[in-house]
Amino acid sequence: MSLVRLNIKGISYSQTQNGAYALILNEVDGERKLPIVIGAFEAQSIAIALEKEIKPPRPLTHDLFKNFSDRFEIIVKQVIIHKLVDGVFYSSIICERDKIEEIIDARTSDAIALALRFDAPIFTYKTILDKAGIYLKFSAKDSEDKKSESIIVDEILADSESSKSSPSSSENYKSYSLQELYTMLDSAVTNEDYEKAAKIRDEISKRETK
């Protein structure tokens, strides 16, 4: 499978949901964009790394990882967004120490925050870009471009919520067996739907403490 290099175009925000952001990645030799929904903390960390002049008074988590890596001569060579399952992107950090290469699994938002700090290139596979890449319709004015991106963020969030709504967040889990609940818990954690996982975990705990 061929790799496609990506650049960071910027971070957009949701107009309808507070604290919801999307990282917009741009195909280097093309016009497609790859939007990835990220949390507020990760958005802040990436934004600080993009703005070279901003120096937080104390190191953020990703800054700490960079300092730790520098101290022990660990280099991040590149980041690869290698999988897309049910709207969730999976990434790998390719590291090197003493000429030995290691591959570390990471959340995409964390991987990109680190790639920025190491000046490491970001790649994805062409198949992922073919599946999830989009064309922004507005390009004449920056304000229109940002508006388009915000609409896209809302659409992505709506799709994400609908894909995670089986069962819905308001559903009572009492009708499920323990085995079914454990299966659903594993699925929720795999999809990084931690809010749903917490509710299922609460139901399991209630039953196991009886």
Residues 68-117 have pLDDT tens digits of 999 999 999 999 999 998 888 999 999 999 999 999 999 999 999 999 99
How far, in Å, CA of 167 to CA of 57, rounded?
A: 43
The pLDDT confidence band at residue 126, using thresholds 50, 70 and 90, is very high
Burial class (CB in 10 A: 0-12, 13-18, 19+), 151: middle
Statement: residue 37 has pLDDT above 70: yes
How far, in Å, CA of 56 to CA of 83, rounded?
A: 33
- Which structure tokens are listed for 62? 């990703």
Selection from 28, 119, 36 nearest residue 70 by Cα: 119
Q: Phi and psi of 121, rounded to 5°?
A: -70, 155
Q: What is the pTM of this model?
A: 0.71
